[in-house]
């Protein structure tokens, strides 16, 4: 069992002997750091933070505050903030202390002593739902045209700043399309073209809660109900972990009908999309069991017990498989997500080709010669 680390935050406040308490604690994920904001109120007026001391060994953080006017006869509201590295602590034990200005009794300590006036424990989530390097594939087919199929690959590809706010870029088939940020178990999405942020998911689940989302093109104050959580079940995914599941949505991943499809106008031409695979932190977390791999258009043929693959090219477990109906000279070229050529090979007469030496990520392939084929695959 993993040992729980505690981070003790002590707020040493000089002021009158009146109640001092923590009003709220907020967290914001900024890259690989978590910013913690502690809002507290107490009697007296205070300087801005004099100093913040973090003991990396004990995990103790001390924020020192000094009263500006000894006779400041009012209650003030104050905010202190600090950063911790993502994943460094499982929880923070935040303790608020006040320094007595007079005393001598059991109820009122001696002048200069500190006493505990409030304490709260903040549970930190170690998982960023969409860290840089997250990759997922979605397949779109058409109810009116059985021959139509499109495989789209999405990748979270690094940080960017928009309107002084930190986001992570999302690429669609190698092209920047969206920006994403996370805060307080909520996932926000922005179209890079429209530059307006909208709520994609609220992953703070509890029975009876109604979850809301926004269309990308909706007004800023327009919210749509996603579902009311009457029941939350659990499913075990490819990484061996159990995830909360409700209404076709996996907590921490998103909808099985496409991660952000619910935020877009619903198609009227018969198109239908579903999630194929989802990889996070170089680990395959989710794979749609109705399909043979992460790049297939055809579903598993459950009636006849085998897989129908309309394309003669298939990629699974870092191996290309070829099933060309006719012989002929063919040439395989592989490009990375930036368009640089990383591998080329003559594949005439080959039935399979292991792809070794490529790093984890999204790649595009092209086969020329006796017939042309192309697509996208993921190396895990």
Contacts (Cβ under 8 Å, ≥6 apart) of 304: none
Contacts (Cβ under 8 Å, ≥6 apart) of 151: 137, 138, 139, 276, 295, 297, 375, 376
Question: What is the DSSP pairing of strand 6-14 with strand 91-99?
Answer: parallel
Q: Are residues 282 and 140 in the same domain?
A: yes
Q: Are residues 319 and 233 in the same domain?
A: no
- Specify if 130 maps to a domain: no
Q: Are residues 213 and 315 in the same domain?
A: no
Q: Are residues 143 and 117 in the same domain?
A: no
Q: Are residues 109 and 232 in the same domain?
A: no
Q: Are residues 212 and 250 in the same domain?
A: yes
For 371, the domain range is: 311-379
Phi, psi (degrees; rounded to nearest 5) at 157: -130, 50
Nearest CA-CA partner of 211 in 242, 186, 181: 186
Q: Which class for 108: exposed (0-12), middle (13-18), buried (19 or more C-beta within 10 A)? A: middle
Which of 123, 152, 187 marks a domain boundary?
A: 123
- Specify if 229 maps to a domain: yes
Q: Are residues 262 and 157 in the same domain?
A: yes
What secondary structure does DSSP assign to 26-74, as a single string?
EEEEETTEEEEEEEEEEES-BPSP-EEEEETTTTEEEEEE-BS-TT--S
Half-sphere exposure of 154 (CA within 13 A, CB side): 25
Q: Where are the beta strands (DSSP E) in 229-282?
A: 233-236, 242-246, 249-250, 254-255, 271-280
Which of 123, 154, 181 marks a domain boundary?
A: 123
- Specify if 155 maps to a domain: yes
Would you state the structure tokens that stand for residue 318, as one six-digit string? 């870092």
Measure the CA–CA gap between 99 and 11, rounded to whole angstroms. 10
Which of 58, 88, 123 marks a domain boundary?
A: 123
Tokens 């909520």 appear where?
186
* Number of structural domains in the chain: 3
Residue 317's CATH number? 2.60.40.3080
Helix ranges (DSSP H) in 239-304: none
Q: Are residues 279 and 140 in the same domain?
A: yes
- Specify if 302 maps to a domain: no
Measure the CA–CA gap between 33 and 277, rounded to whole angstroms. 27
pLDDT at 228: 87
Residue 125 per-residue DSSP state: P
Q: Are residues 61 and 83 in the same domain?
A: yes
Whether 139 contacts 149, CB under 8 Å: yes
Tokens 């297939």 appear where?
296
Tokens 């890259």 appear where?
31
What secondary structure does DSSP assign to 354-368, as a single string?
E--SPPSEEEEEEEE
Whether 108 contacts 100, CB under 8 Å: yes
Q: Are residues 155 and 242 in the same domain?
A: yes
- Specify if 67 maps to a domain: yes
Nearest CA-CA partner of 224 in 165, 264, 166, 273: 264
- Specify if 266 maps to a domain: yes
pLDDT tens, the chain, 380 aa long: 334 444 444 444 343 444 567 887 777 767 667 888 888 787 666 666 556 666 665 567 666 666 665 556 677 787 888 888 776 776 777 777 766 554 444 544 455 566 677 777 776 654 689 999 999 999 999 888 888 999 999 999 989 999 889 999 999 999 999 999 998 889 999 999 988 999 999 998 888 899 999 999 999 999 999 888 888 888 888 888 888 898 889 999 999 999 999 999 888 888 899 999 999 988 899 999 888 888 888 887 654 433 334 567 777 778 888 877 677 778 888 877 767 788 888 888 778 888 888 888 777 777 877 666 667 777 77
Q: Are residues 37 and 111 in the same domain?
A: yes
Q: Are residues 351 and 256 in the same domain?
A: no
List pLDDT tens digits, range 185-232: 899 999 999 889 999 999 988 888 999 999 999 999 999 998 888 888
């Amino acid at each position: 069992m993993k040992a729980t680390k505690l981070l003790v935050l002590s707020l040493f406040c000089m002021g009158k002997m009146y109640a001092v308490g923590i009003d709220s604690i907020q967290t914001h994920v900024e890259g690989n750091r978590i910013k913690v904001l502690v809002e507290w109120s107490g009697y007296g007026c205070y300087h801005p933070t004099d100093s913040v001391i973090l003991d990396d060994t004990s995990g103790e953080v001390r924020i020192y505050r000094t009263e500006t006017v000894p006779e400041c006869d009012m209650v003030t509201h104050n905010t202190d903030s600090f950063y911790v590295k993502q994943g460094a602590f499982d929880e923070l034990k935040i303790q608020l202390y006040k320094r007595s200005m007079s005393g001598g009794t059991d109820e009122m300590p001696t002048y200069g002593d500190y006493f505990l006036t409030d304490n709260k424990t903040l549970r930190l989530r170690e998982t960023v739902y969409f860290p840089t390097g997250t990759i997922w594939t979605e397949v779109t087919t058409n109810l009116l045209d059985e021959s139509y199929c499109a495989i789209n690959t999405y990748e979270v590809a690094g940080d960017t700043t928009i309107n002084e706010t930190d986001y992570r870029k999302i690429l669609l088939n190698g092209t920047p399309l969206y920006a994403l940020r996370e805060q307080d178990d909520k996932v926000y999405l922005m179209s890079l073209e429209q530059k307006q942020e909208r709520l994609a998911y609220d992953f703070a689940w509890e029975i009876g809660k109604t979850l809301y989302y926004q269309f990308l093109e909706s007004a800023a104050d327009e919210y749509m109900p996603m579902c009311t959580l009457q029941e939350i079940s659990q499913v075990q995914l490819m990484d061996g972990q159990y995830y909360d599941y409700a209404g076709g949505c996996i907590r921490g991943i998103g909808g099985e009908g496409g991660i952000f499809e619910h935020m877009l106008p619903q198609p009227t031409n018969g198109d239908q999309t579903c999630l194929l695979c989802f990889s996070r932190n170089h680990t395959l977390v989710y794979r749609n069991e109705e399909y043979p791999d992460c790049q297939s258009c055809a579903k598993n043929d459950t009636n006849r017990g085998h897989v129908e693959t309309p394309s003669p090219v298939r990629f699974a477990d870092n191996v290309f498989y070829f099933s060309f109906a006719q012989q002929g000279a063919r040439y395989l070229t592989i490009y990375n997500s930036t368009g640089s050529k990383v591998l080329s090979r003559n594949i005439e007469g080959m039935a399979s080709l292991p792809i070794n030496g490529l790093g984890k990520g999204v790649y595009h392939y092209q086969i020329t010669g006796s017939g042309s084929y192309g697509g996208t695959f993921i190396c895990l």
